[in-house]
Structure 1
């Protein structure tokens, strides 16, 4: 039996710069959405800056249509819907740059991963999340 997955997920992402001396420029941000090991959507975010000791909140909209799932993931999805707890994974790649004066610039990549648990369709309200960010 084939199931085609349709998903429409909006994420309010919080980018926080705890540094008291420099702003951080994010010049590359991509978020990918997975169900299990199946890639289902991707979203590029326009470059932005996070001022010193401030946060930047961004709405990121991930939409997918008619993605074919493997049989094992179809069975898992049915079980999760019956239990009213569907789990998605969001992976992010961020390229950031801090300017330390006019001469020294420090660039680095950050990798974020979030496991997000939602109520079953059609409401899909968030029930829990677990996120990690590393270099």
Structure 2
């Protein structure tokens, strides 16, 4: 009985010491999630077919993916970006993965989002035509990333999502005039 009590006591002390070591490493490293930002975008073309509400579009997005950590590298194991208008998916593109970002590194990625014969509900097609006429077209970009954080011999894998609302002028020379991006 005393032997079991001593083993339990030793195991409890081992757990406490391990917890303190993990807390100290966490506070020393201060891990932060990578960020995704739409640094620029151009709306090259938007065509809404008539009478059928089919949409063709062409947009180029310049994205900035950065690793704000000063003591950890991150590896993007998979990455996909989707373009939405009014909640309807217009285009999707997978990024070349895996790619590594070292400590404090940023990377510029060019995304060419092409939508071809995307069926829109009539009310969304009318909204798109009105936005093009008013010279203010609003799109949403959603990115989904599988990220692996690496610190010495230890690594941790998690899913990260990014959401960007983009406001652009009308094509053919549509430029980005406002953006709001968040990463979770």
Range class of TM-score, shorter chain:
over 0.9
Equivalent residue, structure 1, for 2:108: 57
State the secondary structure of the residue aligned to 2:132. Answer: helix
Equivalent residue, structure 1, for 2:141: 90
Structure 1: gaps spanning 5 or more residues: none
Aligned residues of 2:73 and 2:151 also touching (Cα < 8 A):
no
Deviation sequence 1:101-124 (CA, Å, 0-9, x none): 12x211111111111111112222
Aligned length, in residue pairs:
133
Q: State TM-score, norm by structure 1.
A: 0.93
| Bigger radius of gyration among the two | 2
CA distance in 2, matches of 1:11, 1:24: 23
Equivalent residue, structure 1, for 2:10: none
CA distance in 2, matches of 1:76, 1:49: 40
Task: Give 1:3 deviation, angstroms.
Answer: 2.9
Q: State TM-score, norm by structure 2.
A: 0.69
Structure 2: gaps spanning 5 or more residues: 1-50
Q: Which has the higher helix share?
A: 2
The CA RMSD measured in Å over matched residues stands at 1.1
CA distance in 1, matches of 2:111, 2:120: 23
Runs of 4+ in 1 over 6 A off after TM superposition: none
